Copies of this chain bind each other. A is one copy, B any other.
């Protein structure tokens, strides 16, 4: 079942680490026990921000890039967050908990969440500890690991906004990774009900945006065999992809060319190769967009996956 793969099938083995002013390096909790008040704004109004990272053999991939993006979300939303060293210490504590309890799984997903906290009752006078903060470490299901690089079918769905909304309406929080993801989840359900595996959002004026939980990557192979990668730029109100950024650095080092900028739906439909990239699923080649078939290039896909093992 496609949707279930996105979440923790193995949640019985999950570990939580809370961060607060008294525990700036984190304190372990059991995620199967209640931890949040119903008045926490995360649960009241989806008023929080998050990041999801992959831990492979005990090493957190692109930790800095995720912390930078969390900081960006913090700035956009005005939700104070603990310093980077707190998040790093909390995740290290969670990994240690796995090591002492049951051994470290080969792969874990780590979700960092910062909620604005309980309204009117800041958890601390220090604005960087005034909300509710936790890291959740969950083993990556074998099914997700095995599905990497497998071809997928996507639906193009209208995100409702035009491509200039982010610039003219900062209160829309476009570019922040907030907990208000009900629409993203609804889009994935809609796609699943219509025979697709995933979604690419488009703007109401025909620009390609992003997936509900992923970044769009477009590729072409030149006559000389050299690969060029292109991705929609964040100016249209989307998240800068940390996985895409890692791929770009490695690709450029390997002599590929890369670019980012506006992509129209027509350009997407005319693309040679397409992928969705994300921190846990990594790289998924797209072989269908709505009713249109696309060819996958297993060689390039393997190379993209390889790029992601080289760094952070």
Contacts and interface: CB of A to CB of B under 8 A. Distances in A.
Nearest to A6: B119
Given A121-B11, A161-B161, A168-B158, A37 B32 contact: yes
A8 B169 contact: no
A81 B269 CA distance: 41
B171 A186 contact: yes
What class of interface size applies to chain A in its complex with B?
35 or more
Nearest to A118: B11
B43 A43 contact: yes
A36 interface: yes
A36 B38 contact: yes
A11 B121 CA distance: 9
Copies in the complex: 2
B181 A157 contact: no
A55 interface: no
A35 interface: yes
A187 B158 contact: no
B35 A37 contact: yes
**Which secondary structure characterizes the binding site on chain A?**
mixed
A96 to B, nearest CB: 19
A165 to B, nearest CB: 4
A120 B10 CA distance: 10
Nearest to A190: B171
Contacts of A35: 34, 36-38
A245 interface: no
A185 B31 contact: no
The 9 closest A-B pairs by CB, nearest first: A46-B46, A180-B180, A45-B181, A180-B182, A7-B119, A34-B34, A160-B165, A42-B43, A36-B36
Given A11-B39, A34-B35, A41-B185, 4 more contacts: A42-B42, A44-B181, A161-B161, A171-B190
17 contacts: A7-B120, A8-B119, A14-B39, A16-B38, A36-B43, A41-B185, A43-B115, A45-B179, A45-B181, A46-B179, A47-B182, A77-B182, A77-B186, A160-B174, A173-B186, A179-B180, A204-B204
